[in-house]
Structure 1
Amino acid sequence: MFTDKVRIFVKGGDGGAGCMSFRREAHVPKGGPDGGDGGHGGNVILEADASVSSLIDYRYKHHFKATRGTHGKGSRMHGANGEDLILKVPMGTVVREYNEESQETGELIADLTRDGERVVVARGGVGGRGNIHFVTSTRRAPAFAELGEPAQECWIELEMKLMADAALVGVPSAGKSSMIARMSAARPKIADYPFTTLVPNLGVVKGDEYNFVVADVPGLIEGAHEGRGLGHEFLRHIERTALIIHVVDMTGGYEGRDPVEDYRIINRELALYAHELAVRPRIVVANKCDVPGTEDAIRRLEEEVRRDAIAAAGGNEFDDSVEENSRVFKVSALTGMGVDSLIHAVADKVHELREAARDRQAAEIQYDQVWEHKREARDKEFRVRKLSDGIFRVEGGLIERMVVQTDWENEEAISFLQHRFNRLGLEKALIKAGAVDGDEVRIVGRAFDFESSAGHDDIYKELDI
């Protein structure tokens, strides 16, 4: 089964809790704190793998979670880190944020186009620090430790776009499946009725000097850019290809269509779907030229292609590019006529485009770094909302995790949390929103009275937070 778009829920492993412990040995009556740190939770990582051909593994299983870190222990024994969960996806997978409630896709996370390329989609929680980290010159025996940090979790959308060097496009029954079967070892379903091909097919073509991968994309009809027929489902696969092979049925098919008009329709649909496809390098193939009576249609198609090449050259018919871009390959997928020369031309063009792409690789985006920077920036943001008179809600990733990490049975831990809030500027934000002493402040599932810390800021000034 071919699956090219799925939505999955990913969650990293929670961090282990830090330990609150004191050294207790014979002849050491006043041993200092020795609580170890909790282990970090595992990350959920997407990795592009050339051996994976579809997203079928995620069609029925939608929830994935990495393992959590273990808790710290006394005697400075730190907890073990959780194992990363690596999810293999096909090369050419686009990863985006997804909102399950609104069912809308969000920001681009990564575009995994190279074998082995990775991106962290759900980072594991940091392990809580043991009480050895909270010793200061004025607090020699801190009786609290941090709980483990909750892991990141989110829905994401995975969209696979074929990683082929060239794509065969054309109207239904133009002979694309027969063409890929003739050019490569691929054996797609072939029949003499429209929409025989319902999923893209890939085939490796061996040229004289260079090999290339060609994709047979299901036929397009007028209005495909708006989703008619199989439009949006497969137009996106053409975006990946460096070269478009436009196959035109010179017989007009069983409907007796005009081949030149078919050629124009496909060009319009590609341009309307994405402007980049209108200027993508292409090769025009006149198929079924072995059928008697196609000579006039071939001549008219050649004239149309030449006019397009001249227009692309700015109206200068003597431009060097016109001759190359106006060539029409006359072939027959059924008999093999002209296919060898077509393969040779496509292999040369693909090699040329590959070399040009290699020169641009140095400037490629490091998605993992860019996405993580954006995620961290958003995580630190928080906002204060006034729910009603005397009641305020605070929302923000980092600040909510601080609350979850706090041991609410320990007064020292709560005081330390208040100090961290002040360092983030929460008190100022609450006062700016109109909060006064005694008002209720809600964060995640906790509610507590607001009390300004004027005159108490120096209590934890030596703590390392």
Structure 2
Amino acid sequence: MLSQFTDISRINVCGGDGGAGCMSFRREAFVPKGGPDGGDGGRGGNVVIQADAQLSSLIDYRFKHHFRAERGTHGQGARRNGKSGEDLILKVPMGTVVRELDPETQTPMFEIADLVHDGERVVVAPGGAGGLGNTHFVTSVRRAPAFAQLGEPAEEHWIELEMKLMADAALVGFPSVGKSSLIARMSAARPKIADYPFTTLVPNLGMVRAGEYSYVVADVPGLIEGASEGKGLGHQFLRHIERTALIMHVVDMTGGFEDRDPVEDYRIINRELEQYGAELSERPQIVVANKCDAPGTADKIADLKRAALDDGHMFFAVSAVTGAGLNTLMLAVGEQVAKLRAELAVSDEPVDLRDEEWERRRLQREKRFRIVQEEPGAFRVVGRAIERMVIQTDWENEEAVIYLQHKFARMGVDDALEKAGCRAGDEVRICQRAFDFEGAEDFSEYEELEDAGEDVAVEAIDVADAADEGVEVVDAADAEDDAETSEGE
């Protein structure tokens, strides 16, 4: 039988295509030279990932892997704009990390967002921009622009969704130390319990109520030596501990089937936590000596208590079978969780600010561009903002192509190409288009040109040894500022 617990999914997302702008002129009786009146195309819908407190797994993405938002409609005459596409909202459990995947290797490249609050959202596949109608390209010298922008096709890509449990405390330890029995006694959770190792293969959550306290405890599958290196599915289990504020380290005082030393078990698990992530070893920890009702464990309990207290950890001796010591443990855990919650509440930033931060980072990534020399005499300009302009240009319309060339000059693309070593006659490649470079142009020649209503500033990015690798990184925002300054002079 397949497990219903799903903590990693990879899905293909694509925003909706943008609608094309309209090239139209007002034509009415008794209205000579009515002028341009083409409407804008509608923007494509975004694919949005949103955290939902009602969900507990990524099961919805187990069998369906492709998601696409609605496209925008085309603009029309009489300044009628096209309708924008509806956003597609994909809901995930709280505690989901969203990562961008390399299209070839399918390995994570960078983290897009970490959704830990109910309702928190991030755009993972922006819809294509709608094309501008010809009304946007009117200037003092271009009174009747006979071109409009095409809609931008949306890009599809793969992302990874990784769910990390959102629990206040996590029960960790070797297999068969009694973690499942403890969570069953402490809460209403009913995990599988049996007298053999690795009975628990997926985490279990239980709500605990003790006195005035209530909190969530996670029963994490057993760890073994080498878990930090991935042994025994260690990475899959250890990731769930990252979210918890408190670690409940359970140690079997009987030594299990192998008659292990409890103190050595305690040391091994702590080493694995430290090797997986140094911050885990610094996290508040309560040491729980379980199966203390077994005969001949008194000396072992004393040795473990001494080791735990020397490390600065609280210590409790309990029995999941008889319930001895459990009430005291549950109250102590509740008190610690309440303190940790209070500390987090002070530093936690509002959800809307986190949403704005994810969006700001996305826009920054979109605005960057760089120049790469692919071969002698051939350079490629890479950047979503630049590529969008090329895609939205009607290459059958000479006036539209000239406008694009002027726009590149204002953005500093020509200057950046020269700095990267591009010379007149070299080939410049953008998307699937190739051009002959004619050299940087004088901005003052295009003083009459106006921006077409979109923010095309591109921020610089740091590339190690860029010059050695034939990469020129530029800041087009600064380039446009310089252009405006020279025009003003």
- SS at structure 2 position matched to 1:230: helix
Q: Does the CA contact (< 8 Å) of 2:37 and 2:135 recur in 1?
A: yes
The 2-side partners of 1:377 and 1:11 are apart by 19
Distance 1:346 1:415, change over 3 A: same
Structure 1 residue 367, shift from structure 2 partner: 4.3
Q: Does the CA-based 8 Å contact 1:419-1:457 persist in structure 2?
A: no
Q: 1:432 Cα shift?
A: 3.6
* Structure 1 partner of 2:128: 125
In the alignment, is the contact (CA less than 8 A) between 2:245 and 2:283 conserved in 1? yes
Normalized against structure 2, the TM-score is what? 0.87
Distance 1:242 1:391, change over 3 A: closer
Distance 1:367 1:293, change over 3 A: same
Q: Secondary structure at the match of 2:232?
A: coil
What is the distance in 2 between the residues matched to 1:67 and 1:246?
A: 49
Pairs within 5 Å for 1:245-256 = 245-256=248-259
2:43 equivalent to 1:40: yes
Q: 1:69 aligns with which of 47, 67, 72?
A: 72
Quote the offset at 1:353 in angstroms: 1.0
Q: CA deviation at 1:95?
A: 1.5
Closer, same or farther in 2 for the Cα pair 1:34/1:247, shift >3 Å?
same
**Of residues 213, 216, 222 in structure 2, which corresponds to 1:213?**
216
Match of 1:3 among 2, 6, 17: 6
Match of 2:475 in 1: none
1:359 pairs with 336, 346, 349, which one? 346
1:366: Cα distance to partner? 4.2
CA contact (8 A) 1:98 1:105 kept: yes
For 1:173 and 1:25, locate their aligned partners in 2 and report how far apart those are by CA, in whole Å: 85
Distance 1:345 1:392, change over 3 A: closer
Map Cα deviations across residues 88-126 of structure 1 (whole Å, 9 max, x no partner). 111111112211313332222211111111111122122
Residue matched to 2:379? 392
Distance 1:336 1:434 in 2: 76
Q: Which residue of 1 aligns with 2:260?
A: 257
The corresponding residue for 1:270 is 273
Return closer, same or farther for 1:385/1:229 CA change in 2, 3 Å cut-off. closer
Secondary structure in structure 1 of the residue aligned to 2:171: strand
- One-letter code of the match for 1:272? Q
Task: Tell which deviates more after alignment, 228-237 or 330-339.
Answer: 330-339
Letter of the aligned partner of 2:327 in structure 1? D
Change (3 A) 1:335 1:277: same
Instruction: Show the 5 A alignment for 1:44-443.
Output: 44-309=47-312, 325-326=313-314, 328-362=315-349, 366-388=353-375, 390-443=377-430
CA deviations on 1:137-195 (whole Å, 9 max, x unpaired) are 22221111111123344322211110000000111100000111111111111000000
Question: 1:460: Cα distance to partner?
Answer: 6.7
Cα deviation per residue 1:68-105 (whole Å; 9 max; x = unaligned)? 11110011110001111111111111112211313332
Q: Say if 1:434 and 1:298 are closer, same or farther in 2 by CA, change over 3 A.
A: closer
2:436 matched to 1:449? yes
Residues of 1 paired with 2:446 and 2:30: CA distance?
A: 33
Structure 1 regions of 5+ residues with no counterpart? 310-324
Q: Deviations over 1:179-218 (max 9, x none)?
A: 1111111111100000000000001111211210000000
Between 149-158 and 235-244, the greater mean CA deviation after superposition: 149-158
Deviations 1:377-411 (A, max 9, x none): 34333333444555433322211111110011111
SS at match of 1:28: coil
Contact map agreement 1:109 1:367 (CA 8 A) in 2: no
In 2, Cα distance between equivalents of 1:33 and 1:220 = 70
Distance 1:364 1:351 in 2: 21
Cα offset for 1:461? 2.3
Shift of 1:354: 0.7
**In 2, distance between residues paired with 1:464 and 1:269?**
57
Structure 1: distance between partners of 2:34 and 2:336: 75
Letter in 2 for 1:403: V
Q: Is the 8 A contact 1:110 1:368 kept in 2?
A: no
Say if 1:180 and 1:186, in contact at 8 Å, map to a contact too. yes
Structure 2: gaps (5+ residues): 453-489
Q: Identify the range of structure 1 (390-399 vs 411-420) with the bigger mean alpha-carbon deviation.
A: 390-399
For the residues of structure 1 that align with 2:76 and 2:377, how far apart are their CA atoms? 42
Q: Which amino acid aligns with 2:299?
A: D
What is the CA-CA distance between 1:428 and the residue it aligns to?
2.0
Distance 1:384 1:100, change over 3 A: closer
Query: SS where residue 78 of structure 1 aligns?
Result: coil
Q: Distance in 1 between matches of 2:399 and 2:447?
A: 10
C-alpha deviation, 1:135, in angstroms? 1.4
Give 1:457 deviation, angstroms: 5.7
TM-score (norm 1): 0.91
Moved more, 438-447 or 257-266: 438-447
